[in-house]
Amino acid sequence: MKILGVSLFFFIFLAPFAFVTVQAFTGTYGINYGRIANNLPSPDEVVTLLKAAKIRNVRIYDADQSVLKAFSGTGLEIVVGLPNGNLRDVSADGDHAMSWVQDNVLAYLPDTCIRGIAIGNEVLGGSDQFSGFLLGAVKNVYNAVNKLKLSDVVQITTAHSQAVFANSFPPSSCVFRDNVVQYMKPLLEFFSQIGSPFCLNAYPFLAYMYDPEHIDINYALFLPTVGANDPKTKLHYDNLLDAQIDAAYAALEDAGFKKMEVIVTETGWASHGDENESAATVDNARTYNYNLRKRLAKMKGTPLRPKNVVKAYVFALFNENLKPGPTSERNFGLFKPDGSISYDIGFPGLKSSSADSLLLSLKDNRGCGWCGCYSIILTMATAFLLVFSR
């Protein structure tokens, strides 16, 4: 009876999960939750906002306890970040990597749906301050995740800026910069082994700002335009983001990684800027982000990779008033610090009159998702096995 009960339990409850590889991205749309500010809503209020907007995929740039606790039981899927400043220590010591994963990932699973760990951000292509530590950190974190039996739940990645490319137009001509290849090639080899994608921070806004004389702003904003043709592939591009993604695919193919998927981990448009940032307007930001949503909702690929559905995390959830740099850096948010919308692209704002009641209802009836279902299954498993062990 015990054997029959255990077998029956496995096939009914665990078999559907036994061979599932959990992806770090559900659907096509996600958002970056940056917090370089002193006036943002609480993490609990952010949960309310994300739920109301039906945004499920979220990236943060650290592993903040208050955020991870607030996301517990919500069904929201989050990618946490290992900051650049931690790369040296994690690269040098596998035990340090294990402690970090245990404290910042394992401790919150499965209630908080942590789907990935981003190792650093835009490490390659700029100064070489952290370049030599990236691969070691990636390997040590992955080994820790693997030892903890989490490698089919938590994906390991790192995001790159377009500074890793020698050129990006036409897309087919894109290759990695010579001073990046020595770090990029072994990193891609390892990611290819563990099934991780190439993560790209792609900003048509920045490309247009850099070369407004040769780039049509309509092309950057997904508006009707003559577009651009790639003379080598004979492919036509009607928007700049697709061209930037295909440039990354071309660089990957040149490096020997044709099958690797590209995911856009940051893209957005500033709504306000300095005098020399004339493209940073509310109208342009609204147009870009609204059209981006429509583009992603089509669930289609790019001209070069039509079968690889484009997935993107928008930058960013909020305007961040303490970010350094030009004014545009502090004005990429879809929402203002008080939770109201920066401009209308179809998302509801956080309304104070209903926020408290909505938050209560969400906490009482939070989304199940994989993590919630996993908790329920473990509970049912315990009860089931107790019955059949008698």
Query: Coil, helix or strand for 357?
Result: helix
CA–CA dist 237, 304 (Å, integer): 10
**Residue 91 has what pLDDT?**
98
Residue with tokens 């956080």: 350
**Residue 10 has what pLDDT?**
37
User: What confidence tier does 371 reach under pLDDT thresholds 50, 70, 90?
Assistant: low
Q: Is the pLDDT of residue 9 over 90?
A: no
* Sign of torsion over alpha carbons 20, 22, 23, 26: positive
Q: Is the pLDDT of residue 3 over 60?
A: no
DSSP 296: H
Which residues have a catalytic role annotated? 122, 266
**Residue 26 has what pLDDT?**
85
Cα 306–chain centre separation:
21
Among residues 319, 329, 314, the alpha carbon closest in space to that of 241 is found at: 314
CA–CA dist 156, 167 (Å, integer): 27
Q: Which residues pair with 165 in a beta bridge?
A: 176
User: What confidence tier does 23 reach under pLDDT thresholds 50, 70, 90?
Assistant: low
The string over 173-201, giving b where at least 16 C-beta atoms fall within 10 Å of a residue's C-beta and e elsewhere, is: bbbbeeebbebbeebbeebeeeebbbbbb
CA–CA dist 30, 183 (Å, integer): 28
Average pLDDT over residues 177-193: 97
User: What confidence tier does 358 reach under pLDDT thresholds 50, 70, 90?
Assistant: very low
Q: Is the pLDDT of residue 370 over 70?
A: no
Q: Is the pLDDT of residue 186 over 90?
A: yes
**Residue 168 has what pLDDT?**
87
Of 41-45, 244-248, 254-258, 386-390, minimum mean pLDDT range: 386-390
**Residue 7 has what pLDDT?**
38
Q: What is the per-residue pLDDT across 209-229, written as a single tens digit (0 to 9) for each? A: 999 999 999 999 999 999 999
Among residues 178, 175, 300, 297, the alpha carbon closest in space to that of 242 is found at: 300
Q: Is the pLDDT of residue 20 over 80?
A: no
DSSP 5: H
Of 30-44, 187-201, 287-301, 355-369, minimum mean pLDDT range: 355-369
Q: Which residues pair with 30 in a beta bridge?
A: 57, 313
Q: What is the per-residue pLDDT across 127-169, written as a single tens digit (0 to 9) for each? A: 889 999 999 999 999 999 999 999 999 999 999 999 999 988 9
Q: What is the per-residue pLDDT across 38-73, written as a single tens digit (0 to 9) for each? A: 999 999 999 999 999 999 999 999 999 999 999 999
User: What confidence tier does 18 reach under pLDDT thresholds 50, 70, 90?
Assistant: very low
Average pLDDT over residues 238-245: 98
Q: Is the pLDDT of residue 383 over 70?
A: no
Q: What is the per-residue pLDDT across 260-279, written as a single tens digit (0 to 9) for each? A: 999 999 999 999 999 999 99
DSSP H/E element including 186: helix 178-194
**Residue 42 has what pLDDT?**
97
Bridge-based pairing of strands 165-167 and 175-176 is: antiparallel
CA–CA dist 43, 70 (Å, integer): 6
**Residue 351 has what pLDDT?**
55
Q: What is the per-residue pLDDT across 58-116, written as a single tens digit (0 to 9) for each? A: 999 999 999 999 999 999 999 999 999 999 999 999 999 999 999 999 999 999 999 99
Of the chain, the percentage scoring pLDDT greater than 90 comes to 81
Region for residue 79 given its phi and psi (left: phi exceeds 0; alpha: psi -120 to 50; beta: otherwise) = beta
- The tokens describing 346, both together, are 């179809």
User: What confidence tier does 311 reach under pLDDT thresholds 50, 70, 90?
Assistant: very high
Q: Is the pLDDT of residue 310 over 60?
A: yes
Q: Is the pLDDT of residue 352 over 90?
A: no
Q: Which residues pair with 159 in a beta bridge?
A: 121, 199
Fold of 29-335: TIM Barrel (3.20.20)
- The tokens describing 281, both together, are 């307007």
Helical pair 352-364 and 43-53, crossing angle rounded to 10 deg: 90
